[in-house]
Amino acid sequence: PAEPRRAVPPGRSRARSRGSAGAALLPSMLMFGVILASSGLLLMIERGILNQVGPPPLHPPAGPSRRDGRDSPAELELEVLRDTRNRTIRALCGQRSMPRSVWELPPGQRRTVLRHLLVSDNDKYRFLYCYVPKVACSNWKRILKVLDGALESVDVQGKMDHKSDLVFLSDMKPEEISYRLKHYYKFIFVRNPMERLLSAYRNKFGEIKEYQQKYGVEIIRRYRKNGGNSAGDDVSFSEFLQYLLDEDVERMNEHWMPIYNLCQPCAVRYDFIGSYERLHADASHVLERIQSPSFVRFPERQAWYKPVTAETLHYYLCSTQRRLIKELLPKYILDFSLFAYPLPNITSEFCRQ
């Protein structure tokens, strides 16, 4: 999984960090904050699960070290984040009830993950990428098409075709699937669950008529009195969350299905977990790892794209009933816990800011 650089022994600070009290305290404080933020991790601690997990394997540094031999606070934070993700994934996925391979998954779950694993069979690269909608998957698909020669450049303009010129693991025979899962480099990119949901809401119900007609009309009919005349383009965020709360996870649209269900990180042992928050740095790491040509780079954000900012997320969450958010969190708790994202802060004090 997520390429930790070195495990930090519990209760022991780095000797080289003693020169700075703030830097020395950062790993333990961040770890403590992440653990407290996630009820999933708290449950593991209460049951003594995390205490049984050994340090993850050592990996080479993700980037160049500083000349003075010390890591910056940002580098230490990244190291702790990766270490936390590794330990949590190993703790959860090590339980007897969890699947060890895609063949142990129920048929519906297996179909979902195999349909989201894109394959590069080029002898030079050989990798599997589990695409997650609303986590820069369109740009990764562009890169796959360029590497396979179906697209001239990642900068080619035009609407993205999400099906043609792409190879999905679900298209292959069982023995071909098993071989690639065992021998190919595997990676995934993740994002804060609530930020991903807000991004999907704003994009699909604010811009895409197909989603307004297919989902918006149904949501308004179900949750709004006298909403039968709506065109589905005025779904509120609260109505969208109520719809997710009532929806069966396995039947969700891929744009708001939990990442865990899309990519099954217990059944598929990913070699690298990148994050949307470090998109370009983590993407560059993957491109270097698969030894892509130097002219292939991760595309820049389009000028028309409106990102979800912390302020925007704050506004939407604090304008929504707390009960609704709290009841929805269990459906996404594995995404929060496994990928070390803090639960949303919706306290009165925070929302007054």
The predicted-structure confidence for 140-149, as pLDDT tens digits, reads as follows 999 999 998 8
pLDDT of residue 243: 97
Residue 315 belongs to some domain of the structure: yes
Q: Determine, yes or no, domain membership for 164.
A: yes
Looking at residue 303, its pLDDT comes to 65
The predicted structure's pLDDT at residue 1: 44
Task: Decide if 94 is inside a domain.
Answer: yes
Q: Is residue 204 part of a domain?
A: no
In a domain, 328, yes or no: yes
pLDDT of 213 reads 94
Record the pTM: 0.79
Helix segments in 52-149, DSSP class H: 73-93, 107-116, 137-147
User: What is the extent of the structural domain holding 166?
Assistant: 74-195+250-352
**Separation of alpha carbons 89 and 317, rounded Å:** 28
Domain assignment present for 155? yes
Of the candidates 253, 305, 261, 252, the one whose C-alpha atom is nearest the C-alpha of residue 279 is: 305
At residue 70, the pLDDT reads: 63
pLDDT tens for each residue of 183-219: 999 999 999 999 999 999 999 999 899 999 999 999 9
User: What pLDDT shows up at residue 165?
Assistant: 85
| Whole-number average pLDDT of the chain | 82
Quick one: 168 exposed, middle or buried, by C-beta within 10 A (0-12, 13-18, 19+)? middle
Quickly tell me which residue has 């004090």 as its tokens: 349
Question: What CA–CA distance (Å, rounded) separates 26 from 59?
Answer: 21
Number of domains the chain contains? 1
In a domain, 106, yes or no: yes
Axis crossing angle, helix 322-338 with helix 73-93, rounded to the nearest 10 = 90
Domain assignment of residue 137, yes or no: yes
| DSSP for residue 16 | G
Residues lower than pLDDT 70 in the chain: 1-71, 157-162, 302-304
Sequence-distant (6+) residues with CB within 8 A of 123 are none
